[in-house]
Amino acid sequence: MILKIITQLAGLQKSFINLLRIAVFVVMVWIGGLKAFHYEADGIIPFVANSPVMSFFLNKPAPEYQEYKNPEGKEVAENIAWHRDNGTYTFSYVLGTVIVLIGFLVLSGIGFPKIGLIGGLLTFGMSLVTLSFLITTPEVYVPNLGGDFPTEHFGFPFLSGAGRLVLKDVIMMIGGLICASESAQRLLQNKSR
């Protein structure tokens, strides 16, 4: 019975890789699509502003953004004006479009291995950049708030909500490599025929 299940699982590997492609596609399109909304754009600014790879896309230096944070679901006119001047929304729209396109490239790997290879490698690269935020963005760790009952549970390794969100890109990074690897395998098989 167990051997039969193991044999069936082994035979489904290609189907599972295609399910992985679909999962990456769903995440990319959903998250990329949300970049068109102010709350999502506002939320990525701590990552972008503190990143040596991306901060040059914005007009204002870190940590100025901290004064102009909108709580999720709420829009303050003064904060929106600051984000417009900062280039937050323009950057977010472009980033969202790139993320959605990468999602489509990964999904296309089901039928087109060359395109899937590119999509998988771009997913890997995008995830590396995202994971670099664990080094560059102060908001990814629980801050020392002091107070009447100080705690030693702040800073590294205590991830904030933003940090836990970033850390999950380890899975996306490996998913991109698996999709790219399977696409490369099919390309080599097609070439040898």
Give the tens place of pLDDT for each residue, 19-71: 999 999 999 999 999 999 998 999 999 999 999 999 999 999 999 999 999 88
Q: What is the pTM of this model?
A: 0.90
CB within 8 Å of 7: residues ≥ 6 apart: none
Average pLDDT on 96-113 reads 98
CB atoms within 10 A of CB 151: 11
List beta partners, residue 159. 141
pLDDT tops 80 at residue 123:
yes
Lowest mean pLDDT among 128-132, 133-137, 146-150, 152-156: 146-150
Average pLDDT on 96-121 reads 98
Whole-number Cα distances in Å, 78 to 48, 83, 105, 145: 20, 9, 38, 27
Mean pLDDT of the chain, nearest integer: 93
**Two tokens at 71?**
């709580």
